[in-house]
Structure formats: C-alpha cells, structure tokens
Amino acid sequence: MKLIKGTRPALWVNTAVAWGGVILTNTITLLGKADNKKTGEGLFGGLPEGTPGMALRGMQQLTYFTMWSNIMVAAVTLMLALNPQKRTPWRKALHMCALMMILVTAVVYAVAIAPTNPLRGWSLVTNPWQHIVTPALTWAVWLIWGPRDMSGPGIIPRCVVIPLIWVGWMFLHGLVFHAYPYAFVNVVRIGYLVAARNILIIIVIAIAVCWVIKGIDRLLMTVTGRDRKRAAA
C-alpha cells in the first residue's frame, strides 16, 4: 500500500498530542489537582485528597470512556506511525475502533455532558484537549493522510471488542464502588435496565459509525486511486 506524502509525520503529531492529553490528565488526577467534587449521587468524585485517595482517583480516571478512547488513539496512532503500511485484520479493526471511540467521545460529550458540566481549574485545559482537540486532529489526520483500507471480513465485529470490554469494566467498577462515570449509566439513580438500554443505544450508534467509517474509507481509496492514475498518465 502506497502512503500519501506526509502520512508518517502527521501520525507522529497525532500520537504526541493524544499521549500528551492522556499523560497530563492522569498526572493531574494522581496528584490530586483535578476537580474532585462529587456532582451527584452515584457519580464519580468526592474521593480522599492526597496520597490516600491516589489509587481510587486513578482507577476512576481509567474508568471514563473518554480516557479509554484517548488511550486507544494514542496507542493506535503510535502503532501506525511505526509501521503505517502493515494492514492486518486486527490492525484495521483497532484503527477503526480508535476513530469510532474518539468520535463517540466527542459527540456524547458535546451533546450529553458539556451542557451540564461546568469546567473548573485544570479541566479547562484537559477537557477541551481530550474531547475536542484530539478527536478533531485524529479525524483530520485519517481523512487527509490515512492510512487507508478498512476492507475485509470481520473488521467491524473486532472493532467493538474494546468498547464491550469497557462496558464490562465500567459496570464491574460500579458494582464494587457504587459510582459511575456518567449520568446515563448511573445505576444508583436510573437502575440497571435504563443504564443497559442507554449503553445498547450507544453501541448501535457505534456500529453504525463503524459502517460509515468503512464507507468513507472505500470512497477515499477510490478517489486516491483515481488521482494516482491521473498523475501517472
């Protein structure tokens, strides 16, 4: 597979920005500098300050879908930057998964979280970084540079493996600590049935996004192929 000029540098910028957001957000959380105010019954926050609450704060941070999606982008763009031409079924699926997860993160945050979640302190930096900058950059890099080719059987089923693992981890964490990352999965307030329904809706949307990504990828491959033929003519 021939790469578009500038693919590798773009991927390195993408991975640097994504890892920067992941490292800064987790460092601030572990040091107790992040907003730790409890925003409602059954929601995250309100943990002990300082060293005693460090492990619990870190665990909560790693239960946010936002953090999972940003780690996925950071890891996948690093993988692609190191070897962008290797396109196995799992590498394609992980690439698609990162694009899907970071888009869901951006959209759900803008629609369901940001309107009722005023930013304070370090979140004025980390929230836009992880919910706006990294998603926009990741999609821009993919749309402009790729790498292309999401084709092949079983890509979309593989694509939802990581999100389903997150669902299991999030509900397990909630079962143990009676705290959830988002109001729409807050079992303490809305119960398991409503929370499961909300997750199911998001999963269906996520699968639809995967199909859209696959369609865009096919279109971009066609356009790129035509441009190369014209350039060679």
pLDDT over 90 at 185, yes or no: yes
* Structure-model confidence comparison of residues 123 and 36, the more confident one: 123
Least confident of 56-65, 161-170, 184-193: 56-65
* Structure-model confidence comparison of residues 47 and 42, the more confident one: 42
Is 145 within 8 Å of 6 (Cβ atoms)? yes
Average pLDDT, the chain: 90
pLDDT over 70 at 159, yes or no: yes
pLDDT over 90 at 123, yes or no: no
- Kindly indicate the confidence band of residue 113, based on its pLDDT and cuts at 50, 70 and 90: confident
pTM of the model: 0.90
- Kindly indicate the confidence band of residue 33, based on its pLDDT and cuts at 50, 70 and 90: confident
pLDDT digits 0-9 by tens, 4-23 = 899 999 999 999 999 999 99
Using DSSP's 3-state secondary structure scheme, residue 180 falls into strand
CB environment 87-113: b (16+ within 10 A), e (fewer): beeebbbbbbbbbbbbbbbbebbeeeb
